[in-house]
Amino acid sequence: MGLQIGDQAPDFKLFSSDLKETSLADFKGKKLVLQFFPMAFTGTCTTQLCTMRDSFGFYQGMNAEVLGISVDSPFTLAKFKEEQFYQFPLLSDFNKETSRAYQSIYEEFVYNLKGVSKRAAFVIDEEGKIIYAEVLESAGDLPDFDAIKKVVEG
């Protein structure tokens, strides 16, 4: 069934590409857009995060923060962030706990890879409640960016 609108967002503590521990509590009082993605340096994932990069000013203007989350290591994510000029943190869910908590994980992925984040988008309000949830089964699909923007605008 997955997480629903109105549910309390699961807490997380993950290391960013800057090796800084980041948690959900760090964003209390702001809206938070979580973008889960399967793997750095792949085509659709790059498109997903570049779309967020190119809309970053909009989210900043709406008192919203953006985070990207994948099971890649913080070191891989640091290189990905540097090459693509992302202005927002990329968080490493290397241990797969947050992807599981958000019910956004492929137990079996391509090339026999196990435990890879699904492409998913969540918007969390200022009090930590989910106000948008989209988990995609196909890694080739992209989140509904227009719907995300509308929810952030409130």
CATH classification of 27-153 is 3.40.30.10, yes or no?
yes
Among residues 19, 16, 22, 10, the alpha carbon closest in space to that of 99 is found at 10
> Crossing angle of helices 74-84/43-54, nearest 10°?
60
Residue-wise DSSP of 94-145 = TT-HHHHHTT-EEEE-GGG-EEEEPPEEEEE-TTSBEEEEEE-SSTT----H
Check whether 125 has a pLDDT greater than 90. Answer: yes
SS3 1: coil
The catalytic residues are 45
pLDDT of residue 1: 63
pLDDT of residue 35: 97
pLDDT band at 134 (very low <50, low <70, confident <90, very high): very high
Question: Token pair of 50, please?
Answer: 């570049």
Each residue's pLDDT tens digit, 59-100: 988 989 999 999 999 999 999 999 999 999 999 999 999 999
Task: Record the pTM.
Answer: 0.94
